[in-house]
Amino acid sequence: MIADRVRDAALSLPEAPAYLYDLPALDEHAASVRRALPGIELYYAVKANPDAELLRVLAGHVDGFEVSSGGEHAHVTSLFPGGRVALGGPGKTDAELRLPHHRIHVESPNELRRLLDTGLEADVLLRLNPDLPVEGAALTMSGPFGMDEQGVAECLPLFTDRVRLRGLHTHLASGLDAAQLLTLAGSLLDNGYDEVNLGGGMAVSYAAPGSRFDWAGYGRGLAALGRGRTLRIEPGRALTAYCGYYVTRVVDVKRVRGEAYAVLLGGTHHLRTPATKGHDQPFTILPTGKGQGVADEPITFVGQLCTPKDVFSRKIVSSAYIGDTVVFEMAGAYAWNISHHDFLMHPKPAFRYLGA
């Protein structure tokens, strides 16, 4: 269910499709996350959504931003000159290794050697890819990310007065609940580093839009584990997913071999999240249509792309009439910025901000 102010704004949008961001809701959510984590440093992983309006709201609550490319670095440092930046990402170029940072997350022994070759000062967290079981994760960050214990051991003798080892960085998996993240944090903190960045990956449930990650429980658990150490986390999705909406309109309703379809303006080239994650994107229908349609039956909602993958949600019992307004929820993270905008050359959505 969407808030009244979101519904009113969706109904008064001059154009569709459009992204609508609820900035006061983001402000409130970020403040509550911040309150739940006393003594823990909170960074935002910019790759979840780099929209400048969202970053400006978040800047009032976070201690810094985690960037994963030279592009994100330029974007964030131009918005917040002098702000704290943690620079991560696999495959950093020589130019990226030279960028100013508060921390740089080194992904391999050879990357550390190339960092030393720059001749610049650096404050390093080694990205460890630990051999820990992560059950129930949506996406496990194993494989090429970071290094194993052997890689870390190879790095340790390379540090100098100029290129300083500050601690460890990990980002284990995406879609974990607080108890799972605390278990993983417990095993990592056993290794005696004074500073540990525990990454992001806090669970977001698209099947239960009203549920939230247990920030308070996570904060209490981290406080118990921290004990004088610097602990930092860098969530992305769990901060911004909830404040974004993709608002569009029903352009056709039809039945093909018995199955009902609603065809919407736009598509997964604007909101790729359901296609990449393979889920049904939650939505609310506002009955603005006066045309033909179907009522109270399973409807598959698709977009305007000429591909069977252009599906927002499958066989959800609902009603849809031509001209109805469809508000997709939870479209504030890994949505517009991961989408293949130019496929089929349809117009881009508008961007509107509540409370700006």
Ligand X SMILES: *Cc1c(COP(=O)(O)O)cnc(C)c1O
Cα torsion at 211, 213, 214, 219 (round to 10°)? -160
The answer to whether 244 and 334 are in contact (CB under 8 A) is no
The answer to whether 91 and 61 are in contact (CB under 8 A) is no
Per-position x/- string for 74-113, each x denoting binding to ligand X as judged by CB under 6 A, each - no binding: --------------x-------------------------
Number of residues in contact with ligand X under rule CB under 6 A: 16
Per-position x/- string for 272-311, each x denoting binding to ligand X as judged by CB under 6 A, each - no binding: ----------------------------------------
| Shortest distance in whole angstroms from residue 224 CB to ligand X | 22
Q: How many CB atoms lie within 10 A of CB 230?
A: 15
Residue 151 or 200: the one with the smaller Cβ distance to ligand X is 200
Q: Is 126 helix (H, G, I), strand (E, B) or coil?
A: strand
Per the annotation, the verdict on 306 as an active-site residue is yes
| Shortest distance in whole angstroms from residue 197 CB to ligand X | 8
Q: Which of 58, 104, 202, 305 binds ligand X (CB under 6 A)?
A: 202
Q: Does 72 bind ligand X (CB under 6 A)?
A: no
Nearest alpha carbon to residue 248 among 343, 314, 331: 331
Q: Tell me which residues in 207-266 interact with ligand X (CB under 6 A).
A: 234-238
Residue 176 or 285: the one with the smaller Cβ distance to ligand X is 176
Rounded CA-CA distance 39/225 in Å is: 11
Which residues fall within 8 angstroms of residue 184, CB to CB, at 6 or more apart? 130, 132, 134, 170, 172, 176, 198
Q: Is 240 helix (H, G, I), strand (E, B) or coil?
A: helix
Distances (CA, A) of 10 to 118, 146, 241: 51, 42, 18
Residue 144 or 291: the one with the smaller Cβ distance to ligand X is 144
Q: Is 270 helix (H, G, I), strand (E, B) or coil?
A: coil
Interface segment toward ligand X; rule CB under 6 A; list 40-48, 268-276, 292-300, 301-309: 40-48
Q: Which of 151, 167, 200, 219 binds ligand X (CB under 6 A)?
A: 200
| Shortest distance in whole angstroms from residue 80 CB to ligand X | 18
Rounded CA-CA distance 263/253 in Å is: 6
Q: Which of the following is catalytic: 95, 207, 306, 317? A: 306
| Shortest distance in whole angstroms from residue 44 CB to ligand X | 9
Nearest alpha carbon to residue 239 among 72, 44, 41: 44
Interface segment toward ligand X; rule CB under 6 A; list 44-52, 71-79, 182-190, 213-221: 44-52
Which residues fall within 8 angstroms of residue 91, CB to CB, at 6 or more apart? 107
Q: Tell me which residues in 162-191 interact with ligand X (CB under 6 A).
A: 171, 174
Catalytic residues: 306
Site residues (vs ligand X, CB under 6 A):
45, 47-48, 66, 88, 171, 174, 199-202, 234-238
